[in-house]
């Protein structure tokens, strides 16, 4: 009986693959892996904004961190793609600007309000 079971993640991946644009939707798993790939030092300073045609646009809060991420672009692409199991991110384009807050930092407070 145990051999007949299929993991839900596998079922969802197969369903996404059959949808038009399903692969593009699956690429957005990058957001879920972002903090783990960057680590606790870099992640607070950079946030992905969009992924289009394999180019991940990342907002960085300071030019010093932008330089650091620029030096790590190849490694970050490789680590993100390893997490996704395919080559979804072929390049990272860095822009200077305030990264959006992490989704978990807004929990408990309605949007537009502080404490």
pTM for the full model? 0.67
Q: What residue ranges do the domains of the chain occupy?
A: 9-100
- Block mean pLDDT (10 aa), the chain, length 115: 68 63 62 91 93 93 95 96 90 85 45 37
Q: Spell out a b/e string for 86-101, using b for 16 or more CB atoms within 10 Å of the CB, else e.
A: eebbeebebeeeebee
Contact 94, 66 (CB under 8 A): yes
CATH superfamily, domain at 9-100: DnaA, N-terminal domain (3.30.300.180)
Cα→Cα distances 8→5, 13, 33, 56, Å: 9, 9, 19, 28
């Amino acid at each position: 009986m145990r051999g007949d079971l299929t993991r839900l993640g596998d079922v969802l991946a197969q369903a996404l693959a059959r949808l038009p644009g399903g692969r593009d939707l699956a690429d957005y798993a990058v957001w879920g892996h972002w903090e783990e790939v960057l680590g606790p030092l870099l992640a607070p300073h950079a946030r992905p904004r969009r992924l289009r045609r394999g180019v991940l646009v990342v907002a960085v809060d300071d030019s010093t961190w932008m330089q650091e991420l620029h030096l790590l672009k190849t490694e970050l692409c490789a680590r993100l793609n390893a997490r996704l199991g395919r080559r979804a991110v072929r390049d990272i384009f860095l822009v200077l600007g305030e990264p959006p807050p992490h989704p978990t930092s807004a929990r408990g407070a309605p949007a537009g309000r502080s404490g």
